[in-house]
Amino acid sequence: MHQQKEQKVLKQLLNYLNDDKQPIGVRLPSERKLTEQLSTSRSTLRSALKTLQAKGVLEVKAGSGCYLMSKNEIDNLLNNNQTDNKSQISDSLEAFYLFEPIAVTLATDRMDDATLKSLEQCIVDLSVAILVPDIEKVVENHKNFHKIIIKSTGNNFIIKCLERFELNYILVSNMMSQASIDQRNKIFALHVNLFQAIKDRNPENAKTASEAMIMSTSALLAQYEGIKLPKIISDKATLSN
């Protein structure tokens, strides 16, 4: 249901932005006004906005708002059906599996102590969210955990590339709401393993932990959202069983 609501809001936003009256560079109305106009919740709106940001359609400026940056992807996003979306997500998971673990090794070497403490706090917040449970907070902390790590690479090109994989989070929320408590606890344990490897400054263990987390999340997306596992992930999962 959450996914359907977000897809509906996403389509409404795309139609709004595609209007000839909306020039490149225009600032979108405030979140409050948009939630009223689209009859949606703030959390659903924010997820849709982040999807458009990841696609390069919008730019979010802290303290200023959202701005229309490009219309190049709007037609493609409007025309994509659910099957196409699932195919794209499968491709995105494959790319994520290939690129993020390498970025994690770089972050392990470069992360400073202050950022490591922020990552540890994210683990604590994730634990509380799973215990409650608060699915929105689970997904938010899952997302923040990865963002903190990727930003620690200090490489703006890597950061921008991996930001484009945020489309996966459209389904992560719905997937987490269906997952059992044991499955959520496993995801949490994988976060802890990755954090410990980074804390120990062990790039190889961090890479392995990152791969394990992506494989586990992918398996849940396949189970609950019907996403076809990329061959590189399904083959690795078979070997590990």
Note the pLDDT tens digit of each residue in 116-145: 999 999 999 999 999 888 887 888 888 889
- How many angstroms separate the CA atoms of 203 and 111, rounded? 11
- How many angstroms separate the CA atoms of 72 and 229, rounded? 28
Position 82 scores a pLDDT of 46
Instruction: Give the pair of three-digit tokens for residue 125.
Output: 């917040």
Nearest to 200, CA basis, from 99, 131, 105, 121: 105
- How many angstroms separate the CA atoms of 227 and 55, rounded? 20
Task: Could you list the beta-strand ranges (E) of 69-167.
Answer: none
Residues in the chain where the model's pLDDT stays below 50: 1, 81-84
Query: Whole-structure pTM over 0.75, yes or no?
Result: no
Position 3 scores a pLDDT of 57
Position 88 scores a pLDDT of 75
Cα 54 to its chain centre, rounded Å, is 9
- Rg of the chain over CA atoms, in angstroms? 18
